[in-house]
């Protein structure tokens, strides 16, 4: 009797073995998918935005280097280098890969509320 039950269990387990493997793989695949969408994809998007920002640096932009220097781009030497001014009459060539941040050109501060225009003064007609 014991031998018959053992053979019955062995025969049934071979049919269930393939579904057990599938059940074990589903959580692993789900975790890989979550990691991709939570970590890798946003990081790739940020890297792409950084590359585009650095390539779009043009004359007049204020940039921050990876070393922490802040200066104004004076000339684009080529696709890989820019010339920027870190102090008056001190110009340095920098590889674009050394730019960590591009700040927009400085614009004058605009008044939040434009001054009210006064109505034109009326001219008094001379008495005749």
User: Pick the residue with more confidence: 25 or 18?
Assistant: 25
Mean pLDDT taken over the chain = 79
pLDDT winner (highest mean) among 1-10, 11-20, 86-95:
86-95
**Inside any domain, residue 124:** no
**Inside any domain, residue 125:** no
- Span 49-66, average pLDDT: 89
The model's pLDDT over 62-74, given as tens digits with 9 standing for 90+, comes to 999 999 999 999 8
**Inside any domain, residue 108:** no
Domain that holds residue 35: 1-55
Residues 6+ apart with CB under 8 A from 81: 93, 94, 95, 96
Do 49 and 2 share a domain, yes or no? yes
Do 35 and 49 share a domain, yes or no? yes
Q: Smallest Cα–Cα separation from 35: which of 47, 44, 22? A: 44
Structural domain total, the chain = 2
**Inside any domain, residue 110:** no
Beta strand residue intervals within 4-69, DSSP E: 62-65
């Amino acid at each position: 009797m014991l031998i018959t039950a053992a053979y019955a269990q062995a025969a049934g387990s071979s049919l269930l073995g393939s579904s057990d493997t599938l059940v074990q793989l589903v959580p692993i695949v789900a975790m890989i998918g979550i990691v991709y969408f939570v970590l890798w994809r946003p990081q790739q998007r940020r890297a792409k935005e950084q590359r585009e920002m650095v390539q779009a640096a043009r004359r007049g932009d204020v940039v921050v280097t990876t070393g922490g220097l802040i200066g104004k781009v004076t000339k684009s030497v080529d696709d890989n280098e820019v010339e920027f001014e870190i102090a008056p009459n001190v110009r340095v060539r920098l590889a674009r890969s050394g730019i960590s941040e591009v700040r927009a050109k400085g614009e004058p501060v605009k008044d939040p509320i434009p001054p009210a225009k006064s109505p034109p003064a009326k001219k008094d007609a001379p008495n005749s």
